[in-house]
């Protein structure tokens, strides 16, 4: 084989490897940005829920004067939930668990607040309360949808960075696995309903 042909082959292999490396890296960047965008949407719907709470508390406060501990619990849970943030660059299972726990406490407090309507018929009949409750229910559905989309996006990203030979590029450039939203502990057990 001639020296010139060998040089051309070596240069072609180097260019091919460089193009593959560029493509793999850019695919990972795109996938990681997709995870960040999905996370932003999750935060967006949780913020929507958080923004509805002061109006709901104010509406209930006018009817349920003797339920101050429930109202305070909702306000406190909202405060805690809004303080827990997760950096899109650090979507680890631990960070997501902490976020989910804070949001779960808020969901529980909201559940107790919404149950007050059974004790206060005037509250149950209040149009503003009914509209806020409907908006919260819609927001909870959005939360579930966005969490599912986030998990799908994170799964696609995690699969991409773990496949060979892309995993070599991922480790070279510091692409790390993202966490998933998981069901709350005890969610696998059906609730006991007693009458």
Please list the pLDDT of the chain residue by residue as tens digits (195 residues). 688 898 999 999 999 999 999 999 999 999 999 999 999 999 999 999 999 888 888 888 777 766 777 888 888 888 888 888 888 888 888 888 889 888 988 888 888 888 887 777 777 777 888 888 888 889 999 999 999 999 999 999 999 999 999 999 999 999 999 998 886 665 444 444 342
- Distance between CA 19 and CA 139 in Å, rounded? 44
**pLDDT single digits (tens) 21-57:** 999 999 999 999 999 999 999 999 999 999 988 888 8
- Distance between CA 2 and CA 6 in Å, rounded? 6
Quote the pTM value: 0.79
> Which DSSP string do the residues of 121-164 spell out, in sequence order?
HHHHH-HHHHHHHHHHHHHHHHHHHHHHHHHHHHHHHHHHHHST
**Could you tell me if 78 and 165 are in contact, meaning their C-beta atoms sit under 8 angstroms apart?**
no
Helices (H) and strands (E) in the chain — how many of each? 6, 0
């Amino acid at each position: 084989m001639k020296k010139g042909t060998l040089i051309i082959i070596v240069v072609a292999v180097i260019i091919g490897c460089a193009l593959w490396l560029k493509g793999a890296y850019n695919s990972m960047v795109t996938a990681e940005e997709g995870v960040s965008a999905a996370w932003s949407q999750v935060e967006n719907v949780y913020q929507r829920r958080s923004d509805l709470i002061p109006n709901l508390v104010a509406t209930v406060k006018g009817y349920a004067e003797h339920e101050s501990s429930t109202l305070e619990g909702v306000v406190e849970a909202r405060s805690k939930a809004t303080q827990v943030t997760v950096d899109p660059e650090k979507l680890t299972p631990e960070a997501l668990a902490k976020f989910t726990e804070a949001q779960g406490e808020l969901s529980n407090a909201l559940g107790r607040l919404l149950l007050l309507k059974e004790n206060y018929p005037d509250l149950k009949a209040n149009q503003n309360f009914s509209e806020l409750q409907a908006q919260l229910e819609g927001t909870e559905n959005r939360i579930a949808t966005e969490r599912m989309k986030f998990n799908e996006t994170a799964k696609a990203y995690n699969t991409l960075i773990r496949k060979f030979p892309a995993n070599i590029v991922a480790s070279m450039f510091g692409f790390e696995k993202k966490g998933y939203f998981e069901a709350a502990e005890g969610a696998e057990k059906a609730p006991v309903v007693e009458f």
